[in-house]
Chain A
Amino acid sequence: MNTRSTLLLSLIVLSTSTTAFAHDPSEHKNDSEQPNCEALNTMDHTKMDVNDPIIQAIMEQCGTHHNHEQNHQDKSKKSAVNKSDQ
C-alpha cells in the first residue's frame, strides 16, 4: 500500500470514527433512572400552572411514562387472559 492510499484510508477511518465519540442518548436509556412520577400524586395539582413549560414537560414525561407502564400492564393482562382462555 503506498503512502497516498494509507493517508486516504487514515482520513476515512478518522472522519467516521469521530461520530463514535459523540454522546449517544440511547446509551443511557437502559441504565438511567426512571422519572419518579408517583411522587406527583402527593402534590397539589390545583397550584400547578398548565401554561408553565416546566409543568408541561413534567406532564409530558409522566404522561409518556404512565402510558408506557399502562401499556405494559394492559399487555400483561391480555397475555394472562389469553393463557387462561387456552
Chain B
Amino acid sequence: MAIIKTTCVTLLLFILSGIGFIYSGFYPIGADQRHHPITLWVLTTLREQSIARASRDLEVPPLDDPALLLSGGADYNEMCSSCHLKPGKANSDLSLGLYPQPPNLTLKPEAHDHSHGKGGHNDPDVNARRQFWVIKHGIMASGMAAFGSTHDDGRIWAIVAFLQKLPQLNELQYQIITARRTSNHNPN
C-alpha cells in the first residue's frame, strides 16, 4: 500500500513539476538556440517516422517529362529557393536563420545532415514520395508550410520532378529552367 502511495505522490509531483516548468517561461524557445541532443533525436525520429508512414502508399508518377521540370522549376524558384537555395547560392538569411535549418536541396539526399528514414537515401521513389508529402502537408513548427491547400497534386509532383534534377543543375541551367515561361503571353 505504501509503495502505491509513494508512486502516486512521485508521479503527481513529476506532472506538477512539468506543468510548473511550462508556465515558468524558462524554456529557451529562440530559433538561435539549439535543441539538447536527446530532444533533437526525439523530434527528428518522430518527424522521419511520421513522414515515412504517411507517404508509404503514395504512387509516384513518371517524373522525367521536361514539361514537369519547367513548371516545377518555376514554382521552386518562386516558393522554395529562398530557404532551400539554388546553384551558386550556399546560404541565405532564411537558410541560416531558421531552426531546424532547411535542407539545402541543391545537394544530393545523401549529403543532407539528417536521415530520410529506412532506405530513404538510396531509393528515388522513397525520396520522391517523401518530398511530395512534405510539400503538400508541411511540417509542424519547422517553418515548412503546407502547400496542399493552394496547389493541386499535379503541380506538387512537378516540383518533386524538378527536385530530382536540381542537384545536377549548374547556375545557367537553373536560370533557364526556372524562368517562368511566357509562351502563352500574347505578343500583340
Contacts and interface: CB of A to CB of B under 8 A. Distances in A.
Interface of A: 18, 21-23, 25, 28-30, 32-37, 39-40, 43, 53-54, 56-62, 64-65, 68, 71-72, 75
B135 interface: no
Contacts of A54: 69, 165, 168-169, 173, 177
Given A29-B185, A33-B179, A61-B179, A23 B66 contact: no
Interface residues of B, number: 32
B172 interface: yes
Contact of A60 (B67, B150, B168, B169): B67
Nearest to A51: B64
B93 interface: no
Given A57-B66, A68-B187, A37 B181 contact: no
Given A23-B79, A28-B78, A60-B66, A33 B181 contact: no
Contacts, number: 86
Contacts of B71: 25
Given A21-B150, A23-B75, A54-B168, A32 B179 contact: yes
B144 to A, nearest CB: 15
B51 interface: no
Contacts of B173: 54, 58
B177 A32 contact: no
B70 interface: yes
Nearest to A62: B176
Given A23-B75, A39-B172, A68-B187, A32 B64 contact: no
B75 A18 contact: no
Contacts of A28: 74, 78, 180
A58 B69 CA distance: 9
A22 B183 CA distance: 22
A68 B180 contact: no
